[in-house]
Homo-oligomer: A and B are copies of this chain.
Amino acid sequence: MATQTAQGEAEIVNPLVDLIGYQLRRSSSALMGDLARSLEPYDLRPSEASVLVLIDANPRITQSEIGRILAIKRANMAPLSAALEQRGLIERAPVDGRSQGLTLTAKGSELLKDVRALIVANERRFLGKLDHSERAKLIALLQECWTEA
């Protein structure tokens, strides 16, 4: 791979490109950075967007359940959902004495429509070339990396 220049200067070699860990880190970073920039006008972080998607699919889900599914610690879920509630995107309703179910407000549902479109656009931007079966295989391959390894 390392070609020579006219001056004989050594071309820089990056052995990391052969590592899947490195490729995962770089591609994840590229996708998340792109999504973060898309969400910026809405003052929403990717993690907040993922929480909204999960609440929409599971009305009255609790913070602890969200944390377990998305691998976000309870301690970090607290300020995250407090911010979403303060902005009027979600509301809390007591499930029992200690837990509260989270549900999207009308404002939250409205925002989520735009967010979904941004997410779809983000996916297309990076994986538009892949056909359906390639995409499915990639998803299955990646999922093996973090589920019950």
Number of copies: 2
**A73 to B17 CA separation, bound complex (whole angstroms):** 19
Chain A residue total in the interface (Cβ 8 A): 53
Query: Cβ of A78 < 8 Å from any Cβ of B?
Result: no
Query: Cβ of A111 < 8 Å from any Cβ of B?
Result: no
Residues of A bordering B, CB below 8 Å:
10, 12-32, 35, 46, 50, 53-54, 57-58, 61, 65, 69-71, 119, 122-123, 125-127, 129-130, 134-135, 138-139, 141-146, 149
Chain B: CB-nearest residue to A120: B19
- Per CB-CB distance, the 5 closest pairs between chain A and chain B, nearest first, are A27-B145, A23-B142, A30-B146, A28-B28, A24-B28
